[in-house]
Amino acid sequence: MATLLLHHSSFANHKTAPGHPERPDRYRVVEAVLGQPQFDPLLREEAEIAELDTTRYVHTNRYVDALEEARPDTGYAHLDGGDTMMEPSTWEVVLRGVGATVQAVDKVLAGEAQNAFVACRPPGHHAETERAMGFCIFNNISIGARHAQRKHGLMRVAIVDFDVHHGNGTQQIFYSDPSVLYASTHQMPLFPGTGATRETGVGNIFNSPLAAGDGGAELRDAFEDRILPALDAFRPELIIVSAGFDAHERDPLGSLTMTGDDFAWVTRELMKSAEKHCDGRLVAVLEGGYDLQGLADSVGAHVGELMKG
């Protein structure tokens, strides 16, 4: 069965202030790499705009309504200091990121694709129930997990996050919910400051912090010693991946030293886990990755591996 790519040219909108690392060129390099001939077998679908109510699976009405009010007609509306902002095109872009994620979940659960990669921006995993932060406005991955439960009746969904930053938003949303497992490797100390091993939720949170300078060997240890066994014990019916590539050695926001090969390895291990527990059903959603070359290499390695499923 094929790998599905969810994409849309509007993900190159949502302009950020000059010098901001989360910029439209990120999407352009992802489209460029996935436009190469070896990616021809991908099933490609344009991302649809989500119903606003879909965001309410994980965000409060107060937050969603305040965001809608904050949409600027010109210039920027700042949501989180200088980090997170909206400009006039942003609303459509973030609703399309949510739409793409639930669309990917629908297609994979319907058996129309083996797995899926959602190429979207901005990222989502820092957005909490009622707080935008760290470039993130809606928590795509968490909405995808809830959608799988509410619309498809899944009992157990696992979210695995290998972005260099801890997904504080995802952890906060599911902290007391045993039906969703959240496992993360991330650099510590680093923004946003959460993600210690002792943060365990109701036994459903598995944080594996890494230290500056750590690379593929430490990533393998974290997965083999802690995250893959946790997945085995949980027996997910769907694995959703917060696929951030800012742990790449070239990335300016982190100090980990992963390469494309490391991202290929972790992708393969997650596919094996999905194969074992849920007929290979896996949905990956783009999070960070701020060096354009590092992002292109990593996405190429990740999606290339998904296509072998």
Q: Which residues bind Zn ion (CB under 5 A)?
A: 163, 165, 244, 246, 288
Shortest reach from residue 279's CB to Zn ion, in Å:
30
Contact 267, 226 (CB under 8 A): no
C-beta closer to Zn ion: residue 21 or 72: 21
In whole angstroms, the minimum distance from the beta carbon of 195 to Zn ion comes to: 12
d(CA 247, CA 115): 23
Is 277 in the active site? no
List, in order, residues 6 or more apart from 56 with CB less than 8 Å away: 64
Residue closer to Zn ion by CB (options 162, 174) is: 162
Place of tokens 């997965």: 223
Residue closer to Zn ion (CB basis): 87 or 161: 161
- Of the CA atoms within 13 Å of residue 274, those in its CB half-sphere come to 26
Question: Residue 242 CB, nearest distance to Zn ion (Å)?
Answer: 9
We find the least distance from the C-beta atom of residue 63 to Zn ion, in angstroms, to be 21
Is the CB of 45 or the CB of 163 nearer to Zn ion? 163
The Cα 106–Cα 87 span in angstroms is: 30
- SS3 assignment, position 267: helix
CB atoms inside a 10 Å sphere around CB 249: 16
Per the DSSP assignment, residues forming a β-bridge with 86 are 77
Q: Which is nearer to Zn ion, 163 or 218 (CB)?
A: 163
Q: Could you say which of 126, 165, 166, 248 is catalytic?
A: 126
Residue number closest to Zn ion, CB atom: 288
**Residue 184 three-state SS:** strand
Q: What is the DSSP string of 88-157?
A: TTHHHHHHHHHHHHHHHHHHHHTTS-SEEEE--SS--TT-BTTB-BTTBSS-HHHHHHHHHHHHH--S-E
Of residues 165 and 302, the one with the C-beta less far from Zn ion: 165
> Positive or negative, the Cα torsion across 68, 28, 23, 135?
positive
Q: Please report the sign of the dihedral spanned by the C-alpha atoms of residue 196, residue 201, residue 104, residue 282.
A: positive
Which residues carry out catalysis? 126
